[in-house]
Amino acid sequence: MTEDDEDRADALFHALADRTRRDIMRRVLAGEHSVSTLAGNYDMSFAAVQKHVAVLERAGLLTKRRHGREQLASGDVAAVRSVGSMLTELEQVWRGRIARIDDLIATDQED
């Protein structure tokens, strides 16, 4: 409801609205990967992939951990679930609509 919540929702949905970033999420949810290992999977520059990782990190969808000269990225399943719960909230709004329609039918029939 708050402005910060909306900012966070904007960042989360935006981060997931790109197929390369969704693919990165699949990989880092399956296990830790360095940025250059990730970059090796895509037909674009290292810098481009590094920016995608930064977008996901800023949205809180992954975290990084130093390991020597590498930066190991790991997916945060709780953040993914938080997006899911936003959708569940939307679904609850819809359930309210159905409940109101049911009430209307019930009221029409009681006479």
Partner DNA sequence: TTGACATACAACCGATCGGTTGTATGATTG
Partner DNA sequence: CAATCATACAACCGATCGGTTGTATGTCAA
Least distance between DNA and beta carbon 20 (Å): 5
Rounded CA separation 68/70 (Å): 5
Which 76-105 residues touch a copy of itself, going by CB under 8 A?
77, 80-81, 83-84, 87-88, 90-91, 93-94, 96-97, 100
Q: What is the largest CA-CA distance in the chain?
A: 77
Counting residues that bind DNA (by CB under 7 A) gives: 26
Return the number of the residue (34 or 82) whose C-beta is nearest DNA. Answer: 34
Q: Binding pattern to a copy of itself, positions 58-77, x when CB under 8 A?
A: -----------------x-x
Rounded CA separation 60/90 (Å): 22
Q: Considering CB distances under 5 to 8 angstroms, the limit depending on partner class, which of DNA, a copy of itself, none binds residue 4?
A: none
Q: Taking the CB of residue 66, how many other CB atoms lie within 10 A of it?
A: 8
Q: Which two tokens stand for residue 103?
A: 């009430």
Q: Taking the CB of residue 56, how many other CB atoms lie within 10 A of it?
A: 27
Return the number of the residue (40 or 84) whose C-beta is nearest a copy of itself. Answer: 84
